[in-house]
Amino acid sequence: MSEYPEQIKILCVDDERNVLRALERIFLDDDYEIVLAGSGEEGLKVMAESGPFQVVISDYRMPVMNGVEFLKGVYDRWPETVRIVLSGYADASAIVAAINEGHIYRFIPKPWNDDELRITIQNCLERYFLQQKNCELLAQLGATNQVLEDKVQQRTEQLELRNRALEFSQSLLGGLPVGVVGVDINGMIAYCNDIGARLLKDVCGDIFGADVSTCCNASLGLLVAQVRLDKTITVDTVLGSTPCRVIGRTITFSDSEAIVLVFLER
């Protein structure tokens, strides 16, 4: 059973047949599929027809298309494939070109050590599957972020609709020809339209945020207490010097019981 999640395919490219056979022999005991190509052009054709390949090993000095040119073509079309270049020449400029242009993972001199090459291939495969896993995680992260962005957008649109509805409701209540007062579960005046504020100015020192049991005269406190007890009332009263008919009822708001008082001047 392979330790890897997919069949391992390694492409070896060299214009010398004996080098290809030597590379093939190194991996006889490994569960790898070794594919051989005699030139850079053939290597690119094999990559296109028989890929994907996790690793590509290429000689540096080859006619027509050298190893750097070949591996640059591999990088341009299959950037996830890990690339190794072999060379019998200790040419510093060639090494720099291979790394910069072909995005080479390893530059291995000829003759190579078989055990070291096998370890290098194992490192290449670890790198390949780590990059693959990172891409999967990034894709999942991107999908999750998109879902979150969609939810934020949806929530923002909902809040905008609620704000517009609230503004409309406040404008509507503010324009009614009656006084409207809202008292929350704690007995605090949470809403009051203009007519309501005018009617309450003689019975409350402060209106918004006022506690009807401490900041207002007893008559308003009694009205609120009666609504809490009876759930709905219709009574006549006098606010300051203004006779009014008061309609009151309880409503459920934000999972708590609030009170609405409507004052009709008589």
* pTM exceeds cut of 0.85: no
pLDDT of residue 1: 44
Span 72-123, pLDDT tens digits: 899 999 999 999 988 876 565 666 666 766 678 888 888 888 999 999 999 9
Average pLDDT over residues 120-132: 90
Domains of the chain in start order, with CATH, are 8-139 (3.40.50.2300), 176-265 (3.30.450.20)
Pairing of strands 32-37, 55-59: unpaired
Q: Which two tokens stand for residue 171?
A: 């404008």
CA neighbor of 227 nearest in space, from 173, 183, 189: 183
Range name among 59-63, 164-168, 191-195, 249-253 with the lowest pLDDT average: 164-168
Range name among 20-29, 82-91, 150-159 with the lowest pLDDT average: 82-91
CA neighbor of 249 nearest in space, from 221, 227, 226, 223: 227
Average pLDDT over residues 20-43: 92
Average pLDDT over residues 8-36: 92
Mean pLDDT over all residues of the chain? Answer: 86
pLDDT of residue 101: 66
Residue 44 has pLDDT above 60, yes or no: yes
Burial 86-124 (b: 16+ CB within 10 A, else e): bbeeeeeebbebbbeebebbbbbeeebeeeebeebbeeb
According to DSSP, the residues that pair with 100 across neighbouring strands are none
pLDDT of residue 216: 72
Angle formed at CA 98 by CA 95 and CA 102, multiple of 5 degrees: 165
Average pLDDT over residues 160-181: 84
